[in-house]
Structure formats: structure tokens, C-alpha cells
């Protein structure tokens, strides 16, 4: 049985038929036409999965599988959206999903890293934070800053910090958050979040699918 | 402009010969529904989606950023052949209806009757508590606004597993996500009870069941929805505009699933 999280930029897979299953990643644009998996979530999940689980449920179940505390907030930052789930006393407390304008999140960040030839794991956290509520509109801040003499790398870093702060505020400005998604590997983004951050990596939704599958077969 | 229409004028319009089709906004007083009912006048609920026309055509009369239900009222009024429109502009509806009445009066050559419904006689809300497909439930509740009579053979109440608080949404597609055993609260219950200005009934909630607090974007009731959702121990607050996006539907689905509600 194959489980998959079909994101906008990257798709994550787990083959449970493998004796020692390990998750793996493929670029979504490179997926073969007609691909079908058994259990899917993510932006493209309905297209490629026989059974679809909505992302918020997968995220919540992933948090249940990976986090031992009974009160926490789990924020997932994807290529195009941000979503969070919070639990209190082991039960769902709140949730949010900014699906259409999550500042185009990871996609814009990766685009800028490649365009300007930067390495976000080496850039220092900038003092300045751009106010970014939309990725497209936020890019004009970068151009304005560069025109005013700011170094390109610093301007882009301020933009990334702005996206991080926007995601943090969307999640309700918690003192501590668990982070899910590819941006866990982006040191600039993680350290720009103004709170304690516990990165869980990009396979949280896969874990959630696994748990959903287990729960549904035990019912 | 904006004065409440005197009873004499209302009676003159609603008893005039040739009156065939009257649009209503909100829940007009029972006395007026009774007059129209007895005369066999066709009543059209302008809050509901009655015409298949582009919402953008209302931009000439209303700001684009405005309550989707009131934009629907204007859209219906622009495209239906009506003889008069009766709007509840009191606490049973909203200030927005008062201003929409002025807009309609300025653009349509028919009588626009502004009324305030302070009816207090409760008709009960059996449909809100019945086990019934949620879309059918809301269709039945909104249809009852045109009737002055008490519901014959009301369905028995069911044990609730989920709650919906709010006004009837402009986009009914979200209702398909709820189980048949959902109890309905908020203004929709006031509507079925035929006491639309009953603020105490409107604020009633059931803390024992997971409840979605629905608010139509730009509606003044968003404040009450937020407040009640904060007080409720197991709530999801949702603010939806013209159409329901996939993320809002996913939120409802996830909220009910993660709350252990069987669909």
C-alpha cells in the first residue's frame, strides 16, 4: 500500500509494502501521468489518490502520532499555503487554513533563493522585517529596498522573515510551535519565527495518513 | 428616505388590486405574511438565490465588499418582475437591509416597504432539532418564512451530534458536510420560530456538542458568532463570503471528523 502527500512543489511517498518503509520525495512536476496511490493527501491528493484525506485531518493525525504533549500548536508551511492545528488536553482546540493566499509561502521563497543564487542556511537573520501578507505584493518590498541601496541578500532575508512572522501571527502568535513542511530545512525561515520552534520535517502529513489508516482499520 | 413605512401605506400597497408578486427580505411581520397569503399573492424570498445572474451586475448599485446575502437581495430585485418589496429593517434583520431599501427605492419603480418585525409569539423550531438532511432542513426552514401557519405534523426532535449556529448561508453547499443529526441554532432558529428579533434565542448554544459558528462575511453578526465560539468549549468559527472555498469545507470536515462526529 502506497501513501502519498501530493504537495504543490514536492510529493512525499511511503510504501507500506516495503519491509522497512522509508519516506521519499519527488518533484510534483515530474510525476508520471496516470499515477495512482492508495491513500493520498495534499493539494493534488484528489487527483492521484484512490482515497483522499483532507490536509487538516492528515496534519492533525500526524501531530497526534509525533507529539507527546497534550497541549500544542502544529503549523504546516507548504509551497502555497499555511495551516495549523492546536490541541488542548489531547483534543482539537483550534485550526486554520489559509489556502489561497498563504503569501505563496515556500514556492516564493524557493523561487527567490534560486533567482538571487542565495543559500538561506548561510544568511544571517536580518534586523528588518518586511510586512508580508501576500507573496506577490511582498516582492515589491524587495525591489524597493534594493533600489534604496539595501544589499540583495539582506532584502530577500527581510522578506523571508516577513513571511515567517506572518505565518506565526496566522497561527495565533504562540510561545512555542511545532513546524511541519519543507521549510523546516530552511534555517533562515525557522530562526525568523519569533518563538520556540520544534521542526518536525516534511513527512508529518505522511505520518498522519499512516495514523488515519490505522484508526480507520481499527474501527 | 429611510423612514419606516406607515401601516396605512403598507395596507394600501398590499391590498391593492393587481398585486401578484411580492419580494420579502428577512422575516416580515406575521400580519403582513398573513395578508399576502390570504390574497394568494406569490411571495419570493429575496435572501435566497432565485436567479442565475452574475453577482458582478450588482456593483452598479452596491459596493463589491458587502454582505453576500444583501448583494443577492439586490441581484434578485434587479432581475425579478415584482410588484412590491417588503424589507424587515429592524433588529430582526440588520442595518444593511435599511440601506439596501434606500438603494432599491432609488433604482426600482415599485413600492419599497420598510417594516420592523417585533413579533414575539413563538412558533417553535422543530425543523432545527429534527433528524433530516441539512440542505433539506434549511430549504424547509427558509420556505416556512412565506407561511403564516404553524407547521403541521412537526418532526420529532433527535439527539444532536453536532451544531450549526448562524444565519442560513448564502451558499448552501457547506450544509452537505453536516450529519442529519445536526441541531441548528442562531438566527436560523429565530427565523423558524417566527421571532427574528429574539436576541436571547439567537444567542442560545449547546455546549455539549461540537458546533460550527457560521458567519456571513461583512455581516454584523460576525461579532456575535466570534464571541459565542470563544465561549463554547468545542467550536469552529467560520467566516464565508459569496461562495465556500475548499479550505473552508476542509475545515468543517476536519473539525467534525477530529471531534468524533459520525457523518
Q: What is the CATH number of the domain that holds B56?
A: 3.40.50.11890
d(CA B160, CA B129): 8
Q: Which of B67, B84, B115 is the last residue before a domain boundary?
A: B115
- Domain hosting residue B191, numbered range: 127-258
3-state secondary structure of A73: strand
Partner residue facing B254 (CB), from A91, A95, A98 = A95
3-state secondary structure of A113: helix
Test A97 with B258 for CB contact under 8 angstroms.
no
Considering the domain boundaries, does residue B239 fall inside one? yes
Number of H helices, E strands in chain A: 7, 10
Test A56 with B251 for CB contact under 8 angstroms.
yes
Specify whether the CB–CB gap between B76 and B50 falls below 8 A: yes
3-state secondary structure of A26: strand
d(CA B38, CA B32): 10
Q: Which of B81, B115, B149 is the last residue before a domain boundary?
A: B115
What residue of A is the nearest CA neighbor of B233?
A: A93
State how far Cα A3 lies from the chain centre.
Answer: 18
φ and ψ at residue A125, rounded to 5 degrees: -70, 125
Enclosing H/E stretch for A144: helix A135-147
φ and ψ at residue B251, rounded to 5 degrees: -65, -45
Partner residue facing A100 (CB), from B236, B245, B259 = B245
Query: Could you tell me where the DSSP H helices lie in chain B?
Result: 7-14, 30-39, 68-79, 95-107, 134-143, 187-193, 199-202, 222-231, 246-258
Reading chain B (263 residues) residue by residue, the pLDDT tens digits are 779 999 999 999 999 999 999 999 999 999 999 999 999 999 999 999 999 999 999 999 999 999 999 999 999 999 999 999 999 999 999 999 999 999 999 999 999 999 999 999 999 999 999 999 999 999 999 999 999 999 999 999 999 999 999 999 999 999 999 999 999 999 999 999 999 999 999 999 999 999 999 999 999 999 999 999 999 999 999 988 888 888 889 999 999 999 999 88
Test B255 with A98 for CB contact under 8 angstroms.
no
What residue of B is the nearest CA neighbor of A59?
A: B254
φ and ψ at residue B218, rounded to 5 degrees: 70, 10
What residue of A is the nearest CA neighbor of B249?
A: A54
Considering the domain boundaries, does residue B1 fall inside one? no
d(CA A143, CA A20): 48
Number of Cβ within 10 Å of residue A154's Cβ equals 17
Considering the domain boundaries, does residue B121 fall inside one? no
Shared domain check, B104 and B137: no
Reading chain A (219 residues) residue by residue, the pLDDT tens digits are 999 999 888 999 999 999 999 999 999 989 998 899 999 999 889 999 999 999 999 999 999 999 999 999 999 998 878 899 999 999 999 998 876 555 567 888 888 899 999 999 899 999 998 887 776 777 888 999 999 999 999 999 999 999 899 899 999 999 999 999 989 999 999 999 999 999 999 999 999 999 999 998 876
- Domain count of chain B? 2
Choose among B136, B147, B137, B240: nearest CA to B188.
B137
Q: Which of B74, B89, B115 is the last residue before a domain boundary?
A: B115
pTM metric for this prediction = 0.87
Considering the domain boundaries, does residue B58 fall inside one? yes
The residue among A8, A42, A56, A102 with the most chain B CBs within 10 A of its CB, best to mutate, is A56
Considering the domain boundaries, does residue B40 fall inside one? yes
CB contacts < 8 A (A, B): 36
Amino acid at each position: 500500500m502506497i501513501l502519498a502527500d501530493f504537495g504543490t512543489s514536492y510529493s512525499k511517498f511511503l510504501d507500506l509494502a516495503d519491509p522497512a518503509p522509508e519516506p521519499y520525495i519527488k518533484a510534483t512536476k515530474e510525476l508520471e501521468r496516470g499515477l495512482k496511490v492508495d491513500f493520498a493527501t495534499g493539494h493534488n491528493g484528489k487527483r492521484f489518490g484512490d482515497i483522499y484525506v483532507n490536509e487538516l485531518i492528515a496534519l492533525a493525525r500526524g501531530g497526534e502520532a509525533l507529539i507527546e504533549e497534550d497541549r500544542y500548536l502544529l503549523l504546516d508551511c507548504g509551497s502555497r499555503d499555511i495551516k495549523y492545528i492546536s490541541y488542548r488536553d489531547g483534543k482539537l482546540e483550534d485550526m486554520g487554513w489559509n489556502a489561497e493566499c498563504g503569501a505563496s509561502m515556500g514556492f516564493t521563497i524557493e523561487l527567490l533563493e534560486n533567482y538571487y543564487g542565495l543559500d538561506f542556511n548561510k544568511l544571517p537573520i536580518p534586523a528588518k522585517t518586511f510586512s508580508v501578507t501576500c507573496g506577490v505584493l511582498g516582492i515589491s518590498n524587495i525591489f524597493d529596498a534594493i533600489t534604496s541601496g539595501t544589499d540583495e541578500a539582506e532584502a530577500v532575508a527581510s522578506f523571508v522573515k516577513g513571511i515567517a512572522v506572518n505565518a506565526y501571527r496566522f497561527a495565533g502568535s504562540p510561545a512555542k510551535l511545532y513546524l511541519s513542511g519543507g521549510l523546516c530545512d530552511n534555517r533562515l525561515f525557522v530562526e525568523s519565527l519569533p518563538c520556540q520552534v520544534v521542526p518536525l520535517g516534511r513527512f508529518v502529513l505522511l505520518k498522519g495518513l499512516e495514523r488515519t489508516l490505522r484508526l480507520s482499520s481499527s474501527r | 428616505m429611510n423612514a419606516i413605512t406607515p401601516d396605512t401605506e403598507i395596507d394600501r400597497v398590499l391590498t391593492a388590486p393587481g398585486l401578484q408578486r411580492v419580494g420579502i427580505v428577512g422575516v416580515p411581520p406575521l400580519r403582513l405574511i398573513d395578508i399576502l397569503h390570504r390574497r394568494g399573492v406569490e411571495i419570493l424570498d429575496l435572501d435566497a438565490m432565485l436567479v442565475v445572474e452574475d453577482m458582478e451586475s450588482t456593483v452598479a448599485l452596491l459596493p463589491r465588499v458587502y454582505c453576500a446575502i444583501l448583494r443577492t437581495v439586490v441581484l434578485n430585485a434587479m432581475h425579478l418582475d415584482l410588484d412590491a418589496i417588503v424589507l424587515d429593517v429592524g433588529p430582526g434583520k440588520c442595518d444593511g437591509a435599511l440601506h439596501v431599501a434606500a438603494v432599491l427605492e432609488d433604482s426600482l419603480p415599485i413600492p419599497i416597504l420598510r417594516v420592523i418585525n417585533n413579533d414575539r409569539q413563538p412558533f417553535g423550531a422543530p425543523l432545527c432539532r429534527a433528524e433530516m438532511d441539512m440542505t433539506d432542513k434549511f430549504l424547509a426552514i427558509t420556505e416556512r418564512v412565506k407561511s403564516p401557519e404553524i407547521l403541521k405534523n412537526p418532526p420529532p426532535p433527535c439527539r444532536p451530534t453536532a451544531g450549526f449556529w448562524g444565519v442560513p448561508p448564502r451558499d448552501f453547499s457547506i450544509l452537505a458536510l453536516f450529519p442529519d443529526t445536526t441541531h441548528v441554532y442562531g438566527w436560523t432558529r429565530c427565523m423558524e420560530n417566527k421571532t427574528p428579533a429574539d436576541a436571547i434565542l439567537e444567542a442560545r448554544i449547546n455546549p455539549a456538542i461540537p458546533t460550527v459558528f457560521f458567519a456571513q462575511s461583512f455581516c454584523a453578526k460576525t461579532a456575535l458568532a466570534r464571541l459565542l465560539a470563544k465561549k463554547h468549549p468545542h467550536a469552529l468559527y467560520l467566516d464565508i463570503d459569496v461562495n465556500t472555498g475548499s479550505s473552508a469545507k476542509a475545515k468543517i470536515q476536519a473539525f467534525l471528523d477530529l471531534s468524533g462526529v459520525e457523518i
